[in-house]
């Protein structure tokens, strides 16, 4: 159990939350939600003791253990991957290392044997004899092939290194597990595994931050919402939270309106009888008005961008034809015999494990990468707009936001460019920011603004929601639902896919393509993804 009492915290001059009180129960899953910068990660640091609050306390049982996914993979570059996971339990790890040292010593005596017996007891107490198989189970579930388990971490790419650290945090089996965006570097298969593991096998409390609405909906028992300078707890998943929060906000506004109306009615009486025979009654009303306090309804910290994609003209009925596409890279076959046709108006999600070649397929279709085999052809009057998951592919030089977008959309009046920038939350001085200094979310919104101004009839989007918060993701989903052109997109966000796609292209582990014409929920049920 974690008890939060009268907690107040600020960041610089910005008040994050004030006089917060709540209790986190054992073996419960809490999703921490709020706008970027609202204080979600700060709350996790207050729980671990890495930061001190301005006032208030965080009380945790002395014998309780807290595990936290820390992104410090660089300290493990030369360490064997299974050893990194085992180090999630320091007592066990030190006992295993000490035991190895004893076996290396050729001189045994009674003292050495006694020490070995003590180590064996500690290893048994820490479930050490099943530790390696447990570590391997976690690694495999998170998509790390057994062929890498006994290799140094340096053999993996950045996203997979973070999966190893996630496995380490899970291996610790703490009383409370803190996870900050755990799905960020996971593919759709691994997200599904993690969700099931935390739901069905992990026995502690989970407090997690995630922009993945499907993950929040399926895992959370309670929502902790940071907004209006407070942290309010809601029972149930994200969808239920949104409904309840809307009701509470409407009640607050209605209460304020009722009080304002009461004040207005009393003021009318004061104005009417101030100088007449009922002046004493009017004066009494003046004193009453002075004592009435209006509820302090602060503005929400959440902001909702607005996206709009409208094709300049329609494409032909057949948008794209691909036949027997294949790609090899450094003698590794990414995919083979990929064939499909996409018609005008279809909204196609390309999904599969990381490293299977989804982004490469997109780049082949754009002519940025050459295929090893096969052919493809775009249909009549197709005009493609592209969003790259690596923003540096498209944002690669110093320039101000307005200057860059005005130059890209040279046939669009500057007033219209400014309007679109405002709609995606680049206000006032934001348009003068250097594009290379933008955050991931800002860069994503800028690239989506560019696509809006291009007015293409085919949108080719590679992981468009990776750096977007929940509000921006929901706004983008709505815009893509309303889009009257053709959409081809790569994503691991199941909620996003579910809302938009009417067809799924799934590149499986055995390099085969499953072409499913239907909604993602139907695909999930059939193929258990």
pLDDT at position 73 is 66
Strand pairing report for 55-60 and 230-235: unpaired
Q: What is Dmax (Cα atoms) for the chain?
A: 110
- Residue positions counted in the chain: 529
pLDDT at position 287 is 72
Is the separation of the CB atoms in 354 and 159 below 8 Å?
yes
Helix (H) or strand (E) holding 450: helix 440-454
Residue from 331, 329, 337 nearest 357 by CA: 329
Secondary structure (DSSP) of 372-428 = SEEEEEE-TT--EEEE-SSGGGT--S--BHHHHHHHHTTTS-HHHHHHHHHHTT--G
For 88, the 3-state DSSP assignment is coil
**Mean local confidence (pLDDT), 502-523:** 89
Secondary structure (DSSP) of 206-264 = EEEE-S-HHHHHHH-SEEEEEETTEEEEEES-HHHHHHHHHHHHHHHHHHHHHHHHHHH
Tokens of 507: 């590149």
In the predicted structure, residue 179 carries a pLDDT above the cut 60: yes
> Which residues lie across from 371 on neighbouring strands?
none
Check the CA dihedral 484-422-390-84 and report its sign: negative
What tens digit of pLDDT does each residue of 408-427 get?
Answer: 998 999 999 999 999 999 98
**Higher-confidence position of 128 and 255:** 128
**Higher-confidence position of 529 and 379:** 379
Helix (H) or strand (E) holding 14: strand 14-24
The winner for highest mean pLDDT among 26-35, 120-129, 294-303 is 26-35
Is the separation of the CB atoms in 368 and 386 below 8 Å?
no
- Please state which of the ranges 85-99, 175-189, 241-255 shows the lowest mean pLDDT: 241-255
pLDDT at position 296 is 60
User: Phi/psi at 525 (nearest 5 deg)?
Assistant: -65, -40
What tens digit of pLDDT does each residue of 188-200 get?
Answer: 999 999 999 999 9
In the predicted structure, residue 70 carries a pLDDT above the cut 80: no
Is the separation of the CB atoms in 31 and 240 below 8 Å?
no
- Please state which of the ranges 292-296, 311-315, 522-526 shows the lowest mean pLDDT: 292-296
Is the separation of the CB atoms in 120 and 98 below 8 Å?
no
In the predicted structure, residue 341 carries a pLDDT above the cut 70: yes
Tokens of 127: 């479930």
In the predicted structure, residue 314 carries a pLDDT above the cut 60: yes
- Please state which of the ranges 35-49, 268-282, 423-437 shows the lowest mean pLDDT: 268-282
User: In Å, how far are 365, 366, 439, 455, 499 from 406, measured between CA atoms?
Assistant: 27, 24, 20, 15, 32
DSSP H helices, 49-174, are 81-86, 90-104, 110-125, 131-141, 158-171
Cα distance between residue 459 and residue 476, in whole Å: 13
Cα distance between residue 80 and residue 158, in whole Å: 16
- Please state which of the ranges 60-64, 300-304, 446-450 shows the lowest mean pLDDT: 300-304
433: DSSP letter: S
pTM for the whole structure: 0.84
Cα distance between residue 206 and residue 147, in whole Å: 30
pLDDT at position 276 is 61
Beta-sheet strand order (sheet of 347-352): 384-387, 458-462, 486-490, 347-352, 503-507, 513-516
**Higher-confidence position of 292 and 177:** 177
Is the separation of the CB atoms in 369 and 359 below 8 Å?
no
**355 backbone φψ class: left, alpha, beta (φ>0; ψ -120 to 50):** left
Is the separation of the CB atoms in 501 and 519 below 8 Å?
yes
């Amino acid at each position: 159990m974690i008890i939060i009492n009268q907690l107040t915290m600020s960041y610089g001059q910005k008040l994050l939350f004030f006089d917060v009180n709540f209790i986190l129960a054992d073996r419960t899953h809490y999703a921490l939600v709020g706008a970027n910068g609202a204080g979600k990660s700060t709350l996790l640091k207050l729980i671990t003791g890495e930061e001190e609050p301005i006032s208030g306390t965080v009380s945790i049982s002395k014998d309780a253990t807290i595990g936290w996914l820390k992104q410090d993979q660089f300290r493990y570059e030369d360490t064997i991957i299974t050893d990194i996971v085992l180090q999630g339990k320091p007592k066990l790890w030190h006992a295993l290392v000490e035991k190895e040292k004893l076996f290396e010593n050729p001189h045994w005596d009674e003292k050495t044997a006694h020490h070995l017996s003590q180590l064996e007891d500690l290893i048994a107490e820490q479930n050490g004899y099943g530790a390696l198989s447990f570590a391997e189970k976690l690694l495999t579930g998170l998509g790390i092939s057994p062929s890498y388990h006994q290799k140094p971490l340096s053999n993996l790419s950045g996203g997979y290194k973070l999966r190893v650290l996630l496995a380490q945090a899970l291996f610790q089996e703490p009383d409370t597990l803190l996870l900050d965006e755990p799905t960020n570097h996971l593919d759709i298969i691994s997200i599904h595994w993690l969700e099931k593991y935390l739901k069905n096998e992990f026995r502690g409390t989970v407090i997690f931050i995630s922009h993945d609405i499907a993950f929040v909906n399926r895992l959370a028992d309670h929502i902790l919402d940071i907004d209006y300078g407070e942290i309010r707890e809601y029972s149930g998943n994200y969808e239920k939270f949104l409904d309840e929060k809307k009701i509470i906000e409407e009640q607050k506004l209605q209460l304020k309106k009722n009080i304002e109306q009461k004040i207005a009615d009393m003021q009318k009486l004061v104005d009417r009888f101030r100088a007449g025979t009922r002046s004493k009654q009017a004066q009494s009303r003046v004193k009453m008005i002075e004592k009435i306090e209006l509820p302090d309804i602060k503005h929400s910290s959440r902001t909702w961008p607005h996206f709009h994609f409208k094709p300049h003209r329609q494409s032909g009925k057949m948008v794209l034809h691909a036949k027997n596409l294949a790609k090899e890279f450094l003698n590794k076959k990414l995919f083979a015999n990929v064939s499909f046709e996409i018609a005008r108006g279809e909204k196609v999600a390309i999904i599969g494990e990381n490293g299977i070649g989804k982004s490469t397929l997109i780049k082949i279709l754009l002519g940025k990468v050459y295929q090893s085999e096969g052919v493809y052809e775009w249909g009549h009057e197709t005009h493609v707009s592209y969003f790259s998951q690596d923003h540096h592919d498209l944002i690669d030089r110093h320039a101000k936001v307005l200057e860059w977008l005005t130059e890209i959309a040279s046939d669009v009046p500057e007033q219209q460019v400014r309007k679109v920038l405002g709609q995606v939350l680049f206000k006032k001085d934001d348009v003068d920011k250097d594009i290379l200094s933008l955050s991931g979310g800002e860069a994503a919104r800028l690239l989506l603004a560019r696509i809006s101004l291009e007015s293409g009839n085919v949108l080719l989007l590679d992981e468009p929601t990776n750096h977007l918060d929940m509000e921006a993701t929901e706004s983008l989903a709505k815009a893509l639902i309303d889009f009257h052109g053709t959409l081809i997109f790569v994503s691991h966000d199941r909620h996003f896919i579910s809302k938009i796609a009417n067809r799924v292209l799934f590149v499986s582990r055995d390099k085969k393509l499953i072409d499913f014409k239907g909604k993602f929920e139907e695909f999930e049920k059939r193929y258990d993804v």
